[in-house]
């Protein structure tokens, strides 16, 4: 497989990353994961826009235009003949003698990207998963898709150790998002999810779901759920690029609604399938 290393495509073994790369030492960089269905990038422009937006928020200048960047992602998928999988791409503030402050702007950013095959988790879509509520101890700029994922990593680990698929993070009483997903509850036919602000990552899958709700006339209310209200929800689900729309059927050991994926979740999954089926080569 080919990997992208700044403006070159090389074999993975040829990549050399400095021990003083700021991504390695400080997590000083940002990333994206873009889905590939049937050899085509899915919602590529949205991911590219978010990549550039995250970089800008931390003062990293991407040394390509968005169009060139898009073409690079496209070429990588082609070269590696990815069918159903993903592209991971990250940019760091580059390598410089270790010091917290940003180095001189002449230090070039370091971009790497690689692809892999990743199957769609179809069984999970049908059966749903369990989740565990965990206090959200992350920083206050969760809108940035930062390489610094320690808070997310620790929350996911705690969930996995409790035999759960994902953590439902909450700041005090307010439910924010998952460790690597956005979270939604459904009550009396209304979908609730945290508003887009600094407490969550503005998920691309979230945007797709919001659009589907509008089209299907399902009320989509962007208000944080109260932790105490989780047990009263009829349905619950999470979204992410790789987990798509995954029903949550158990929270902290208690069944959600009937304990099976709900109707609205199903409708949104179907709408998502349709969007994948219409995915244009890009």
Write out the residues near ligand PMP by the rule CB under 6 A: 33, 152, 177, 180-182, 201, 203-206, 239-241
| CA pair distance 193, 92, nearest whole angstrom | 31
187 is a catalytic site residue: no
Taking the complex as a whole, the smallest distance from the CB of residue 203 to ligand PMP amounts, in Å, to: 3
Distance of CA 281 to the CA centre of its chain: 21
Q: Which is nearer to ligand PMP, 185 or 203 (CB)?
A: 203
Cβ distance 49 to 66 under 8 Å? yes
Taking the complex as a whole, the smallest distance from the CB of residue 258 to ligand PMP amounts, in Å, to: 26
Q: Which is nearer to ligand PMP, 112 or 182 (CB)?
A: 182
Counted residue by residue, the chain has a size of 282
Distance spanning both ends of the chain, measured CA to CA = 20
Q: How many alpha carbons fall within 13 Å on the CB side of residue 253? A: 1
Taking the complex as a whole, the smallest distance from the CB of residue 181 to ligand PMP amounts, in Å, to: 5
Q: Which is nearer to ligand PMP, 80 or 180 (CB)?
A: 180
**Burial class for 69, CB neighbours closer than 10 Å (0-12, 13-18, 19+):** buried
Taking the complex as a whole, the smallest distance from the CB of residue 253 to ligand PMP amounts, in Å, to: 24
Taking the complex as a whole, the smallest distance from the CB of residue 107 to ligand PMP amounts, in Å, to: 27
* Closest CA relative to residue 245, chosen from 186, 196, 181: 181
Catalytic residue among 57, 66, 71, 145: 145
| CA pair distance 34, 241, nearest whole angstrom | 7
Q: Which is nearer to ligand PMP, 82 or 238 (CB)?
A: 238
What 3-state class would DSSP assign to 247?
Answer: strand
Taking the complex as a whole, the smallest distance from the CB of residue 221 to ligand PMP amounts, in Å, to: 18
Q: Which is nearer to ligand PMP, 89 or 201 (CB)?
A: 201
Which residue do the tokens 């109707």 mark? 263
DSSP 89-150: EEEE--B-SS-SSPPPTTSPPEEEEEEEE----HHHHHH-EEEEEEE----S-TTS-BS--H
Which residue do the tokens 């924010």 mark? 176
Q: Which is nearer to ligand PMP, 212 or 240 (CB)?
A: 240
Catalytic residue set: 145
């Amino acid at each position: 497989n080919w990997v992208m290393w700044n403006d070159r495509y090389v074999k993975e073994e040829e990549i050399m990353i400095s021990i003083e790369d700021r991504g390695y030492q400080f997590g000083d960089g940002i990333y994206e994961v873009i889905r590939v269905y049937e050899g085509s990038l899915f919602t590529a422009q949205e991911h590219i826009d978010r990549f550039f937006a995250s970089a800008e928020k931390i003062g990293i200048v991407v040394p390509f235009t968005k169009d060139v960047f898009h073409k690079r992602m496209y070429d990588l998928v082609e070269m590696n003949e990815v069918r159903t999988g993903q592209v991971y791409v990250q940019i760091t503030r580059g390598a410089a003698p270790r010091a917290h402050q940003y180095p001189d702007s002449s230090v070039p950013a370091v971009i790497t990207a690689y692809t892999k095959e990743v199957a769609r988790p179809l069984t999970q879509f049908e059966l749903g998963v369990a989740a565990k509520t965990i206090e959200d101890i992350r920083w206050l700029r969760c809108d940035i898709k930062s390489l610094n994922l320690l808070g997310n990593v620790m929350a996911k680990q705690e969930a996995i150790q409790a035999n759960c698929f994902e953590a439902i993070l909450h700041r005090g009483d307010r439910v924010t998002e998952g460790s690597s997903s956005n979270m939604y509850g459904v009550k009396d036919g209304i979908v609730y999810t945290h508003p887009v602000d600094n407490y969550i990552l503005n998920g691309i899958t979230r945007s797709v779901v919001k659009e589907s709700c509008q089209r299907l006339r399902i009320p989509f209310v962007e208000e944080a759920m109260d932790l105490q209200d989780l047990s009263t929800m009829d349905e619950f689900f999470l979204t992410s690029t790789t987990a798509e729309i995954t029903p949550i059927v158990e929270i902290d050991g208690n069944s959600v609604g009937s304990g099976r994926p709900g109707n609205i979740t199903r409708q949104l999954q179907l709408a998502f399938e349709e969007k994948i089926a219409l995915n244009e080569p890009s």
